[in-house]
Structure 1
Amino acid sequence: MAAMLKLSLSYLSKNKTQNLFITLLILLSTLLVSTAVIILANTGNLFNEMHTRTNGSHQILTFDKGLNDPKAVYDWWAEQDGVEVSPLLTYRTLSGIAFKGMDIPNLYLYMMNTPQPPWAVDELIFSSGAQSSAPEKGSVWIPTSMANAYDIAVGDTVNFKTGSSALDLRVSAIVVDVPYGAPFTNAARIWMNSTDYQNDFQALAGKDNYMMGIHFDDYRTNSSYWDRYNSETHTPFLETKMEFESISSFYLIINQIIGFIMIFLGAVMMVIALITIGFTISDAILANYKTIGILKSLGLTSGRTIGTYVIQYALLSIIAVIPGLALSVFVSKFIINISVSSLRTGNGDVPMEGIGAAMLVGILLFALVILFVVLYAKKARSIEPVQAIRYGMSETENTRLARRMNSPLANRVGFARLPVAAVIGIRNLIKNTKSSVLMLLLTTMAASVLVLGYVVLTSITGIYQTAAKWGYDNANIAAVVVNKSTFPKDELKLVLEEDPRIKNVGWQGNITGVVTPESSAKMAGQSTSLYLSVLDGNYKELGFETLRGTNPERENEISIGVGVARMLNKDLGDLIDLYIEGEQRTFMITGVYQAISNLSVSGRITVDAVRSVNPNYEDVNVAFINVNDPSQAETIAQQLNEQFKDSASIVTQKTLLDSVYAEAASIFVYPMALIGLLFILVTFIIIFSTCRISIRKESKTYGIYKSIGMTSGKIRFSIATGVVALALIGSMLGVIVGVYLLPLLLEKVLSGYGIVQIPLILNWGGIIIFACLSILAAALGSWVSSRVIRDASPRILVVE
C-alpha cells in the first residue's frame, strides 16, 4: 500500500499542470451537470409552492362579454363541494402607463376594486411595502412582474392612462399575484382602493366587468364539474376561461429551456471528461510503459499498478467534485432567482430544492471516474517487462504504430511535397488518432454550444424580424386603444386614408370562442375557451403567417393554433363548431399556425364571421398599420401618437415586442454565457492535456528536430497548426450542429408552449465569429502545452 501511495503521489507531483487541468475539468463537469439538475428540480417546485401557499386558481373566469350572468355563475360554483372560489372581483381595463417620463404602451391592465379579506383563493403575498387589508387612498398594489420589468419600487408614482385624463397613483406595495404575475406577459392586475375605484371610474364611459378564480381540491376532476355545470344550467360557459396550463406556462418556460440545454450539454461534457480521463490514463501508461515494466519485473503486481491510478484520480476527483457541488448551488441559485424573480418575496432568495439530487450527481460522477480509471488502467495488466524495456510499448502496439505511419492515408498526404511545419503537424494528428478524434469532437461541441447560444439570443432580441413566425402580425406600426369609449376610430381612419405614406391598415379586436364537449371526444366533458383574433382587413397583407394552409378570408373560415389542433385532433379541411357571442357557428379550418401567446390555444376569424352574429360589432383593440417606407415608421408613429395620445398609444411593432422579450433575453444571456465559457475553458484544458501527453511521448523526436537546427518556435507552430486545422473542421461541423440539430431539441421543449418550429435568425457573421472561439481555445491550448519544447534542451529531450 505504501508503494502504491508513493507512486500515486509521484505521478501527481510529476505532472502538476496536467493534473491541475484534469481536476478543473472534473470540477466544471460537476458544476454544469449539478447546476442543471438543481434548475430542473426547481423548475416546477417554486411555482407549485407559491401556488399552494396562495391557494391559487386552477381556472380564471372573466366576464367581459355579457353572455353569462356573473352572479349566477359565481353562486353555482360557490355551492360545489371540493371547490373554492375567490370573491367576485370587479374591474375595469386600461392600456399602457407612463413612468419616469417613459411611455409604456404594451401593458394590458385590470384595474381591480380590491375586496375586503379574507380571500379563499388567490391570496396576495406581499413582496415589499406595508401589508394591509386594502391599498390606502391614492395608492395601488402592483404585481412583482410589472415591478421587475420596469424597475418600479414602493413609493414611486405611476401614471395610468384613462383617455384624455391621467390617473396618478402611488405604489404602496408590490405583491405576488400568481394568476397575472408571470414574467414576459403584458397583462397585470392593479389593486386599487375601493373608494378610489368608485371615484376615478365613475365619470369614465364603459361598465364594470367581473372575474373569479376557481381552486379545485383535485384539478383532475375539473371536467366532471364542468359537465355537471352544462347539464344543470342548460347552457355552456361562453365567457373567457383561463386554464391552469396558461397560468403556469410563462413561469416555467425559461427554466425548462435553460435546464434542458444545461442537462444535455452537461451530460455531453461529462462524457467528454470521462473519455479524456481515460485517454490520459491510457497515454500515461504508454508514456511510462518502460518504467511500469521495470517495476513489474521488481515484483509490483498488476492490481497494485492499477491501484496507483485509482488512488491518483480518486484524490483529484474528491478535490474537484466537492467545490463543483458547492459552486453549482450558488450558480443555480443565481439563475433561478433571476428567472423566477416574480415569485420572490422581499430581498431574500427563493427556497432551493434539489441539493440532494445534485449530491447524488457528484457521487455518480466520482464513481464514473473511478470506473473509467479501472477500465483504462487495466491495460497495465498486459505489460510484459521485456517488451516494455525493449520497445517502450507492447510489440503489438509498436507494429500497429508503424503500420499507421506507413498507411495509404499517410502516404496519400504526400509528406515529401509538404512544408516541414505541415508535415510535423499532420504527423502528430495521424500518430495520435484517439486524441485527434477527441479534439475534433470537443471543438465540434464547443462551437455548436457557442453558436446555439448566439443564435437563440439573436432570435429573441431580434424577434421583431420574425414576429409573424411567433404568431404575431408583421405590421410596421400598432395603434393600441387605451380607452375604447373615447377612441375616435372614424377620425383615425380618415387620417390614415389621407396620408400618402400609409400603405394599408387592418383593425383587430378579440372575442372568446367556446368549443363545446360535443365538438371532440378528447375534451372529456368540458367546454374550452379559445382566444379568437377578429380582423377587419387582410391577414396576409398584415403579415400573419401559418404553418400549413392559409388564413381565413371568408365568413365561415378559421385558422387555428397548433394547441387547438392538438387538443381537438383537427386539421386542414375539418369543421369546428364554436359559440361566438352566444350563438353557435360552424367553421372550416383553412390554416394551422403557431403562437407563443395563449399556448397556441387560439384562432383567427374575419370580422364578417362576428358580424353574422352581431351586425354592430366594432370592438377594436388595435389598428395595424403598414407604411410604404419602413424607415419612416418611427417618425409616422410619433406623429400619430401625438395626435391621438388621449385615447390610443401608437408605436412601432419593434417597441411593443421589445417591451415583452427584452426581459427574456436578459435572463437567458447569463446561463448561455456560463455554458459557453465553460466549454471554451474545457476545450483549452483537454487540448492542453492531450497535446502535452503526445509531446511527452514524442519528446525524443522533437529533441532530434532541435538538434538538427529546427527552432522551438517552429516546432511549436507546427503542432499548433495541425491542431488548428483539426479545430477548423470541428468548428464547421459545430456550426451545422448548433444551427440545424440542437434547435430540434429546443423545439421538443417549446412545442408544449405553442411553438413547434423555432423561428431562428441566422446572422452568419456572428455565427462564424462565435464558432471561431473554439478554434482560438484549441490554438491557445496546443501552444501553451508545447512550452516544454521551448524550455528543454535537445539533449534532455532525447534522454527523456
Structure 2
Amino acid sequence: MAAMLKLSLSYLSRSKIQNGFIALLILLSTLLVSTAVMILANTGNQFRDMHNRTNGSHQILTFEKGLNDPQAVHDWWASQDGVEVSSLLTYRALAGIAFNGMDIPNIYLYMISTPSPPWVVDELIFSKGTPEAAPKQGSVWIPTSMANAYDISVGDTVGFKTGSTALHLKVSAIVVDVPYGAPFTNTARIWMNPLDYHHDVQSLAGTDHHMMGIHFDDYSSNSRYWERYTLEAGGPFLETKMEFEGISSFYLIINQIVGFIMIFLGVVMLAIALITIGFTISDAILANYKTIGILKSLGLTSAKTIGTYVIQYLLLSLIAIIPGLAFSVWASKFIINISVSSLRVGNSDMSVEGIGSAMLVGVFLFALILLFVVLYARKARQIQPVQAIRYGMSETDHTRLARRMNSPLASLIGFTRLPVAAVLGFRHLLKNTKSSILMLLLTTIASSVLVLGYVLLTSITGIVQTSPKWGYDNANIAAVVVNKSTFPKDELKQRLQEDSRIKNVGWQGNITGVLHPDSSADMQGQSTSLALSVLDGSYQELGFETLQGRNPQQENEIAIGVSVARTLNKEPGDFLELYIEGEKRTFLITGIYQAIANMSISGRITTAAMSAIHPNFGDFDAVFINLNDPMQANQVAEELNDQFKDSASVVTQKTLLDSVYAEAAAVLIYPMSLIGLLFLLVTFIIIFSTCRISIRKESRTYGIYQSIGMTSRRIRVSVAMGVAALSAIGAILGILVGVYLLPILLEMVLAGYGIVQLPLILHWGGIGLFACISMIAAALGSWFSSRVIHETSPRMLVIE
C-alpha cells in the first residue's frame, strides 16, 4: 500500500499542471451537470410555491365588452363549492408612463381601485415597502415585473398618462402580483388608493371595467364548472378569460430553455471529461510503459499498478467535486434569481431546491470517474516487462504505429511535398489519433455552443425581423385601443384614409371561441377556449404567416394555432365547430400557424365571420398600419399618438416587440455566456493536457529535431498549426451543429409553448467569428503545452 501511495503522489507531483487541469475539468463538469440538475429541479417550483402562497388564480375574467353582467358572474362563481373567487376588481385601462425623464409608451396598465382585505384569491406579497391594507393617498403599488423592467424603486414618482396630461403618483410598495407579474410582459396592474381612483381616474372620460380571479381546488375540473355555468346562465361566458397556462407560461419558459440546454451540454461535458480521463490514463501508461515494465519485473503486481491510478484520481476527484458542488449551488441560485426575479421578495435570495439531487450527482460522478479509471488502467495488466523495456510499448502497438506512419495517407505527406512545419503538425495528429479525435469532438461542441448562444440571442433581440414566424403581424405601426368608450374610431379611420403615407390598414378585435364539446374531448385537461383574432383587412398584407395552408379570407374559414391542431388532430381542409357568443359555427380550416402568444391555443377569422353573428360588429382592440415608406414609421407613430393619446397608444412594431423581448435576451445572456466560457475553458484544458502528454511521449523525437537545427519555436508552431487546422474542421462542424441540430432540441421545449419551428436569424459573419473562438482556445492550449520543448535542452529531450 505504501508503494502504491508513493507512486500515486509521485505521478501527481511530477505533472502538477496537467493534474491541476484534470482536477479543474472534473470541477467544471460537476459544476455544469449539478447546476443543470438544480435548475431543472427548480423549474416551476418557484412559480408553484408563490402561486400556492398567494392562493393564485387559475383563470382571470375581464369584463370590458358589456356581454356579461360582472356582478351576476361573480355571484355565481362565489356560490360554487370547490371554488374561491377574488373581489370584483374595478379598473380603468391606461397606456404609457413617464419615468426618470423617459417616455415609455408601450406599457398597458390596469389602474385598480384596491379592495379592502382580506384577499381570498391573488393575495399580494410585498417585495419592497411596508405592507398596508391599501396604498396611501397619492401613492400606488406596482408589480415586481414593472419595477424590474424599468428600474423603479420605492419612493420614486411615476407619471401615468391619462391622455394629454399625466397622473403623478409615488410608488409606496412593490408587490408580487402573480397573474400580471410575469417577466417579458408589457401589462401590469397598478393598485391605487380608492379615493385617488375615484377622484383622478373615474373622472376621466369612459366607463369602469371589472375583473375577477377564480381559484379551483382541482383545476382539472374547471371544464365541468363552465359547462354548468353555461346551462344555468342560459348561455356561455362571452367576455375575456385568461387561462392558467397563459399565466404560468412566461414564468417557466426561460428556466426550461436554460435547464434543457445545460443538462444536455452538461451530459456532453461529462462524457468528454470521462473520455479525457481515460485518454490521459492510457497515454500516461504508454508514456511510462518502460518504467511500469521495470517495476513489474521487480515484483509490483498488476492490481497494485492499477491501484496507483485509482488513488491518484480518487484524490483529484475529491479535490474537484466538492468545490464543484458548492459553486453549482451559487450558480443555480444566480440563474434562478434572474429568470424568476419577478417572484423574488425583497433582496433575499430565493430558496433553491434540489441540493440533495446535486449531491447525488456528485456521488455518481465520483463513482463514474473511479469506474473509468479502473477500466482504462486495466491496460497496465497487459504490460510485458521485456516488450516494455525493448519497445517502450507492446509489440502489437509498436507494429500498429509503424504501419500507420507508413500508410498510403501518411506517405502523401512527405518532407519533399510540404513545408516541414506542416508535416510535423500533421504527423503529430496522425500519430495520436485518439487525442486528435477528442480535440475534433471538443472544438465541434465548443463551437456549436457558442454559435447556438449567438444565434439564439440575435434571434430574440432581432425578433422584429421574424415577427410573423412568432405569430405576430409584420405591420410598421400598431395602435392599441386603451379606452374603448372614448376611442374615436371614425375619426381615426378618416385620418388614416387621408394620409398618403399609409399603404394599408387592418383593424383587429379579440374575442373568445369555445370548442364544440365533441371536439374538446381530446383536449386532455387543456382549456376549451380559443383566443380568436378577428381582422377587418388582409392577413396576408399585414404579414401574418402560416406553417401550413393560408390565412382565412371568407366568412366560413379559420386558421388555427399548432397547439389546437395537434390536440384535435386537425389539418387544413378539416372542419372545426366553435361556439362564438353562444352561437354554433362550423369553419373550414384553411391554415395552421405557430404563435408564442396564448401558446398557439388560438385562431384567426375574418370580420365577415363575426358579422354573420353580430351584424354591427366593431369591437376592435388594435389597428395595424403599413406605410409606403417604412422609414417614416417613427414620425407617423408620433403624430398619431399625439392626436389620439387620450384613448389609444400608437407605437412602431419595433418598439412594441423590443419592450417585451429585450428583457428575455438580457436574462438569457448570462447562462449562455457561462456555458460558452465553461466550454472554452474545457477546450483549453483538454487540448493542453492531451498535447502535453503526446509531446512528452515524443520528447526524444523533438530532441533529435532540435539537434539537427530546428528551433524549439518552429517545432511549437508546427504543433499549434496542426491543432489549429484540426480545430478549424471542428469549428465548421460546430457551425452546422449549432445552426441546424441544437435548435431542433430547443424546439422540443418550445413546442409546449406554441413554437414548433424556431425562427432563427443567421448572421453568418458573427456565426463564423464565434465559431473561431474555439480555434483560438485550441491553438493556445497546444502552444502553452509545448513550452516543455522550449524549456528543456535537446540533450535532455533525447535522454528522456
Please report the TM-score for the alignment, with normalisation by the length of structure 1. 0.97
Distance 2:526 2:565 in 1: 17
Identity of aligned pairs, percent? 77
Q: Shift in Å at residue 234 of structure 1? A: 4.2
Instruction: Output one character per residue of 1:372-417: Cα deviation in whole Å (capped at 9) or x when no partner.
Output: 1000000000101111011100111111111111122212445541
Distance 2:231 2:493 in 1: 46
Partner of 1:398: 398
Q: Which runs of 5+ in 2 are unaligned?
A: none
Q: Which amino acid aligns with 1:116?
A: S
SS in 1 for 2:453: helix
**8 Å contact 2:236–2:581 — kept in the other structure?**
no
Q: Which amino acid aligns with 2:560?
A: I
Partner of 2:214: 214
Distance 1:583 1:526 in 2: 22
Q: Which amino acid aligns with 2:680?
A: I
Q: Are 1:317 and 2:317 counterparts?
A: yes
Change beyond 3 A, Cα 1:270–1:525 = closer
Partner of 1:571: 571
Distance 2:85 2:641 in 1: 41
Partner of 1:44: 44
Q: Which amino acid aligns with 2:572?
A: L
Distance 2:57 2:305 in 1: 64
Change beyond 3 A, Cα 1:84–1:646 = closer
Q: Are 1:773 and 2:800 counterparts?
A: no
Q: Shift in Å at residue 523 of structure 1? A: 4.1
Partner of 1:536: 536
SS in 2 for 1:158: strand
Partner of 1:352: 352
Q: Which amino acid aligns with 2:502?
A: I
Q: Shift in Å at residue 49 of structure 1? A: 0.7
The correspondence of residues 621-632 of structure 1 with structure 2, limited to 5 A, is 621-632=621-632
Q: Which amino acid aligns with 1:349?
A: D
The correspondence of residues 746-785 of structure 1 with structure 2, limited to 5 A, is 746-785=746-785
Q: Which amino acid aligns with 2:492?
A: L
Q: Shift in Å at residue 534 of structure 1? A: 1.7
Distance 1:576 1:92 in 2: 36
**8 Å contact 2:523–2:568 — kept in the other structure?**
yes
Q: Which amino acid aligns with 1:184?
A: F
**8 Å contact 1:241–1:528 — kept in the other structure?**
no
Q: Are 1:155 and 2:155 counterparts?
A: yes
Partner of 1:473: 473
Distance 2:683 2:587 in 1: 57
Q: Which amino acid aligns with 1:502?
A: I
Partner of 1:504: 504
Instruction: Output one character per residue of 1:240-266: Cα deviation in whole Å (capped at 9) or x when no partner.
Output: 222221111110000000010001001
The correspondence of residues 400-479 of structure 1 with structure 2, limited to 5 A, is 400-414=400-414, 416-479=416-479
Partner of 2:5: 5
Partner of 1:659: 659
Partner of 2:798: 798
Distance 2:524 2:405 in 1: 69
Partner of 2:62: 62
SS in 1 for 2:175: strand
SS in 1 for 2:619: coil
Partner of 1:686: 686
Distance 2:527 2:463 in 1: 34
SS in 1 for 2:522: helix
Q: How many residues align?
A: 800
Distance 2:603 2:108 in 1: 20
SS in 2 for 1:522: coil
Partner of 1:114: 114
Change beyond 3 A, Cα 1:449–1:523 = closer
SS in 2 for 1:210: strand
Q: Shift in Å at residue 169 of structure 1? A: 2.2
- Root mean square deviation of aligned Cα: 1.7
**8 Å contact 2:728–2:775 — kept in the other structure?**
yes
Q: Which amino acid aligns with 1:49?
A: D
Q: Which runs of 5+ in 1 are unaligned?
A: none
**8 Å contact 2:220–2:525 — kept in the other structure?**
no
Q: Shift in Å at residue 441 of structure 1? A: 0.2
Partner of 2:286: 286
Q: Which amino acid aligns with 1:12?
A: L
Q: Which amino acid aligns with 1:451?
A: V
**8 Å contact 1:242–1:529 — kept in the other structure?**
no
Change beyond 3 A, Cα 1:500–1:229 = closer
SS in 2 for 1:36: helix
Partner of 1:189: 189
Q: Shift in Å at residue 70 of structure 1? A: 2.6
Change beyond 3 A, Cα 1:528–1:765 = same
Q: Shift in Å at residue 185 of structure 1? A: 1.4
SS in 2 for 1:474: coil
Change beyond 3 A, Cα 1:579–1:203 = farther
Distance 2:206 2:514 in 1: 25
Distance 1:523 1:31 in 2: 40
**8 Å contact 1:450–1:770 — kept in the other structure?**
yes
Distance 1:642 1:207 in 2: 22
Instruction: Output one character per residue of 1:729-774: Cα deviation in whole Å (capped at 9) or x when no partner.
Output: 0000000000000000000000001111000000000000000000
Q: Shift in Å at residue 584 of structure 1? A: 2.8
**8 Å contact 2:223–2:528 — kept in the other structure?**
no
**8 Å contact 1:226–1:526 — kept in the other structure?**
no
- Greater Cα offset, 200-209 or 596-605: 200-209
Partner of 2:341: 341
**8 Å contact 2:202–2:208 — kept in the other structure?**
no
Q: Which amino acid aligns with 2:759?
A: P
Q: Shift in Å at residue 478 of structure 1? A: 1.7
**8 Å contact 1:514–1:529 — kept in the other structure?**
yes
Q: Shift in Å at residue 533 of structure 1? A: 1.5
Please report the TM-score for the alignment, with normalisation by the length of structure 2. 0.97
Partner of 2:786: 786
Distance 1:429 1:156 in 2: 64
Q: Are 1:27 and 2:27 counterparts?
A: yes
Distance 2:410 2:236 in 1: 77
Instruction: Output one character per residue of 1:668-700: Cα deviation in whole Å (capped at 9) or x when no partner.
Output: 000000000111110010001110011011101
**8 Å contact 2:7–2:308 — kept in the other structure?**
yes
**8 Å contact 1:39–1:332 — kept in the other structure?**
yes
Q: Which amino acid aligns with 2:419?
A: P
Partner of 2:168: 168
